[in-house]
Structure 1
Amino acid sequence: MKLGLLLPTVHSIALNEMALRGAEALGVDDVWVLDHMMGLTHPALWSEFPAASALPDPDAFLDPFCVAAALGGGTDLRFGLSVTDAVRRAGPDLARAALTVNDACRGGFVLGLGSGEAESLVPYGYDYKRPVDRLEAALRDIRSLLDTGNMPSGSGRIGLDRSGPKGVPEVWVAAKMPRMLELTGRYADGWLPLPSPPEEYAAQYQAVREAAERAGRPAPTASMVPAVIFGDSRDSVLGVLEDVPVVKLIAYYLPAYVWDRYGVEHPGGPNCRGQIDLIPHELDPKALRETAKRIPVELVEELAWFGNADEIAARLKPYAEVGLEHIVLGDVTGTTYAPEETARVLGGQLPRLVELMHAL
């Protein structure tokens, strides 16, 4: 199985270059950048996270295209974007940006796309209506421009070279629901969802493969983006979460119906769809602090996996058995521990995980 690693994509470029060099030393297969306008944490709570000593502002996110262009020429690793939307940029502009960055990156570039999330759109004045319609239109245009150089209709074209040794950038789509799975199979080269239980993941990938077959396209690469908090063991991570309960608020990126299963009310309300709807900065930080204390770790583990490399690899094995070929590791260990403890934990666990994954 191939392993991709998310770079921090927060200030500064130098920090991301340091992370890139670490990824190279580990022997990962590719590196990825995030596209967030704001972070996952209410700024009023950030001082309670151990990572605040190293990163003063949780919203200090860099432009992912710029980070990839700045660093991609200095490594043979492929860069990917996990993921942007078709609200802030339409398909033709995304295609041109992806072709440009693909040229800048020695190892090439993957354009990751999703339907978007409220926190990167609504506070900045973007229209967040019918985002899947916009994504479908963008994918149609991008696929046509990458494959032929021309828009599906009309005179629009891109004259950038598509015939070099790297070819054109691949397009990967973040999808879970039926319409998005259909679009993934019809237009994409890769599938990049957040985790579902293995049996659901298998059914979703089957839907992607069937859509690709109907479109006369190869089955997209099956990937996944699990959030991971490493530790000496799962139990040791649970101990840390008891000491720093605000870390458990990452669970608010799960929909309210998942919270209901654990008897806890979602901070975004009973109809919140999680990551799609949530804007943490608009919630009451005092209420969030109290909610964090009531979140069971099992709810958090619906989104984030805890433990050492062997325990994480064991979580991945059932997915490999149903088709998973690649993961993009969303390592959030650095928000959970003080910087020196993060360095110790990752220094021991990441090399072991690389070894285990390449054997899967």
Structure 2
Amino acid sequence: MKYGLLLPAGQAQLDAGGSTRGLVETAVEAERLGFDSVWAGDSLVRARIEPLTLLTAVAQATERVTLGTAVLMPAYRHPVHAAVTISSLDLLSEGRLVLGVGAGFPGFSEQELELVGVDFRTRFSRLDDTIALWRELWTGRPESFHGKVLHYDWLPEVPGPARPGGPPIWLGGITPAALRRTARLYDGWLPYPPDPADYATALATIRGTAPRPITPALFATVFADDDVRRGTKALDDYCRATYRMPLEAVAQIQVMMTGPDIPAQLGRFVDAGARHILLRIGAVDSATFTEQLAEVAEILSALPHRPVLEAAED
């Protein structure tokens, strides 16, 4: 089992007392506390620090933790230049990078994709083309590339990443199409379904058709508080600040955890097959986030199958 931390890099967190320097310091503290990974999100709809830039700074300040995107929107960036940027980050981190990627959501991403000149209707084909192009650029010197959406008659040489073939690429999403794509094209799976049973069923579908091992991950939002009513209020405040929606609506889509039984809630997803759980702390202001980070780390240290945290405590 591995556990990761999403860095609080949104504008809402920065406006509530956070800082860019503090984000790097949070990553260093997460490594000290024994987290296995630190992650950065990506959005044009909600202002935030650009994830590849942030992770470059984190790479220089840390030594052990995996660095991840949760999730990167490749459509925002020119595919060839993004391959150069990602390969450079992988080199700077000495091969510690994992790319979680996504293609956007109906009713949410149309405007941002229009802004960057991407046809919303072909977003998944474009994503698959982009990943295929990156892998070709990272493993050889292709003279051209022609996919369903992307077409290049000339391609430049790209710096080779630290790991042969480039960093692992995980796909977000739990729709039937996302499951088929994960099994066919990707190295890992990073969804956030509220129901562990749905997670288990979807993972079985992926494993039933995947030609290679797939890393099963989970994106979960937590607020550590033994008082369920108080913790639920904190998560509701977070959802309203982040999504402009109440917890009741967000919890229909994403897994949200609070109360005294967070270990048991995590355990149900572990039993369903999750092996790398990325935790987003549901707090906006920096003081609360710092308190929560210590409490979440304490919860994780008490769980079984935590060899990294146990080693850190020794």
Same fold, TM exceeding 0.5? yes
Among 208, 213, 225, which residue is 1:231 paired with? Answer: 225
- Inter-CA distance 159–74: structure 2 relative to 1 (3 Å threshold): same
Partner in structure 2 of residue 274 of structure 1: none
Deviation string 1:329-348 (CA, Å, 9 cap, x unpaired) is 1111x22xx65444444423
The 8 Å contact of residues 138 and 158 in structure 2, kept in 1 or not, is answered as no
Partner in structure 2 of residue 200 of structure 1: 198
For 1:349, give the aligned amino acid.
V
The 8 Å contact of residues 182 and 208 in structure 1, kept in 2 or not, is answered as yes
For the residues of structure 1 that align with 2:102 and 2:231, how far apart are their CA atoms? 31
Where 1:161 maps in the other structure, the secondary structure is coil
Among 182, 185, 199, which residue is 1:184 paired with? Answer: 182
Please say if 1:317 is aligned against 2:260.
Answer: no
- Inter-CA distance 357–181: structure 2 relative to 1 (3 Å threshold): farther
For the residues of structure 1 that align with 2:24 and 2:74, how far apart are their CA atoms? 28
Partner in structure 2 of residue 64 of structure 1: 51
Among 29, 32, 36, which residue is 1:29 paired with? Answer: 36
Where 2:218 maps in the other structure, the secondary structure is coil
The 8 Å contact of residues 222 and 323 in structure 1, kept in 2 or not, is answered as yes
Partner in structure 1 of residue 135 of structure 2: 143
Partner in structure 2 of residue 92 of structure 1: 80
Partner in structure 2 of residue 271 of structure 1: none
For 2:213, give the aligned amino acid.
A
Partner in structure 2 of residue 116 of structure 1: 104
Give unpaired runs (5+ residues) of structure 1.
40-58, 253-279, 281-287
The 8 Å contact of residues 138 and 160 in structure 2, kept in 1 or not, is answered as no
For the residues of structure 1 that align with 2:5 and 2:214, how far apart are their CA atoms? 19
- Give, in angstroms, the shift of residue 307 of structure 1: 2.3
- Inter-CA distance 198–348: structure 2 relative to 1 (3 Å threshold): closer
Residue pairs, 1:1-360, within 5 angstroms: 1-10=1-10, 11=14, 12-39=19-46, 59=47, 61-76=48-63, 77-106=65-94, 108-117=96-105, 122-123=111-112, 125-126=115-116, 127-130=118-121, 131-150=123-142, 156=155, 158-162=157-161, 164=162, 168-213=166-211, 218-238=212-232, 240=234, 246-249=237-240, 292=246, 296=248, 300=251, 303-308=254-259, 311-332=261-282, 334-335=283-284, 339-356=286-303, 358-359=305-306
For the residues of structure 2 that align with 1:138 and 1:353, how far apart are their CA atoms? 36
- Give, in angstroms, the shift of residue 359 of structure 1: 4.2
Deviation string 1:138-194 (CA, Å, 9 cap, x unpaired) is 2222233334453656653534224x4676211111121122211112221111111
The 8 Å contact of residues 74 and 106 in structure 1, kept in 2 or not, is answered as no
The 8 Å contact of residues 115 and 132 in structure 1, kept in 2 or not, is answered as yes
TM-score normalized with structure 1 length: 0.70
- Give, in angstroms, the shift of residue 239 of structure 1: 5.4
- Give, in angstroms, the shift of residue 210 of structure 1: 3.0
For the residues of structure 2 that align with 1:22 and 1:84, how far apart are their CA atoms? 23
Partner in structure 2 of residue 51 of structure 1: none
Figure out how many residues of one structure are paired with residues of the other and give that number.
288
Deviates more, 1:348-357 or 1:75-84: 348-357
- Inter-CA distance 196–219: structure 2 relative to 1 (3 Å threshold): farther
Two-structure CA RMSD over aligned residues (Å): 3.1
The 8 Å contact of residues 179 and 205 in structure 2, kept in 1 or not, is answered as yes
Where 1:87 maps in the other structure, the secondary structure is helix
- Give, in angstroms, the shift of residue 34 of structure 1: 0.8
Give unpaired runs (5+ residues) of structure 2.
147-152, 308-314
Percent identity between matched residues is 24
- Give, in angstroms, the shift of residue 32 of structure 1: 0.7
The 8 Å contact of residues 224 and 295 in structure 2, kept in 1 or not, is answered as no
The 8 Å contact of residues 135 and 165 in structure 2, kept in 1 or not, is answered as no
For the residues of structure 1 that align with 2:215 and 2:79, how far apart are their CA atoms? 22
Where 1:306 maps in the other structure, the secondary structure is strand
Q: Higher strand share goes to which structure? A: 2
For 1:4, give the aligned amino acid.
G
Where 2:72 maps in the other structure, the secondary structure is coil
- Inter-CA distance 359–167: structure 2 relative to 1 (3 Å threshold): same
Where 1:226 maps in the other structure, the secondary structure is strand
